[in-house]
A = this chain, B = another copy of it.
Amino acid sequence: MTQLAKKSKGTPVVEAVTSADKTFITLRTDIVEGRILAGAKLSEAELSTKYGVSRAVIREAISRLMACHLVERKANVGARVVTLSPEGLIELYQVRESLEGMAARLAAQNMTSEQITDLQSLLDVHAQGVKDSQSYYQEAGDVDFHYRIIIGSHNSQLITLLTEGIYHLVRMYRVQLGMAGPRVTTAFAEHQHIAQAIANRDAELAEILMRRHITYSRQNIEHKLKP
């Protein structure tokens, strides 16, 4: 009886979690946070003994990592963590600029007023963090801000694309290439302007500001990479 959490009769409280799920999550965080390096080989036998599960489970987990574009696999050769190039990170930011720009536009149109007030109160909390310069929480806060706008777009295709795919990739690139978190202080002001545009339901402006915000981040990265 591994499935404990059920309502008395009807639907389960949480989705069923297989050991492949857990292995996938574990591997994903290990890759994203750099404990498994870029280009590293994912040996099925090795991982199998390490996590105490069969190779089938490992293969399942690797399949999902491939779906996230975090690893690549060649037939009869094996799976490797994707190798990172500075150009690849730039390309990713171009995609982000486009998609998150649209997310901001749709968010201005589709966010509920409750979601908007939540977004603004989130920024109030961040304002305090900026003063105290708690860089760790600012990294998480940045993710959180963008995440809420993505969700606020109410476009499920877009949400899936960004939250299940691109975001993990961006985080991995940042860690692997030794980038610190986002530009803290300046970025915060940009966040405020974006939130204001959304609150005003100004879709065009929200898109422009978000694109510019991400463009700045990209340029910031380009500058660090090619001094």
Confirm or deny: A157 has a beta carbon within 8 angstroms of a beta carbon on chain B.
Answer: yes
Confirm or deny: A102 has a beta carbon within 8 angstroms of a beta carbon on chain B.
Answer: yes
Contact of A95 among B17, B66, B76, B102 (CB under 8 A): B102
Known contacts A63-B63, A67-B66; A95 and B16 CB within 8 A of each other? no
The answer for the CA separation of A64 and B59 in the assembled complex, in Å, is: 12
Seen from chain A, the residues whose Cβ lies within 8 Å of a Cβ on chain B are 15-18, 21, 56, 59-60, 63-64, 66-67, 69, 74-76, 88, 91-92, 94-95, 97-99, 101-102, 106, 155-158, 160-161, 165
Residues on B with beta carbons closer than 8 Å to the beta carbon of A155: 91, 94-95
**A-B residue pairs in contact (CB < 8 Å), sample of 6:** A16-B74, A63-B67, A88-B156, A91-B155, A94-B102, A95-B102
- Asked if residues A69 and B15 are in contact (CB atoms below 8 Å), the reply is no
Residues on B with beta carbons closer than 8 Å to the beta carbon of A102: 94-95, 97-98
- Asked if residues B94 and A106 are in contact (CB atoms below 8 Å), the reply is yes
The answer for the CA separation of A59 and B60 in the assembled complex, in Å, is: 9
A9 to chain B, nearest CB (A): 18
Residues on B with beta carbons closer than 8 Å to the beta carbon of A18: 75-76
The answer for the CA separation of A69 and B160 in the assembled complex, in Å, is: 9
- Asked if residues B92 and A15 are in contact (CB atoms below 8 Å), the reply is no
- Asked if residues A75 and B158 are in contact (CB atoms below 8 Å), the reply is no
Among A16, A95, A99, A165, max chain B CB count under 10 A is at: A95
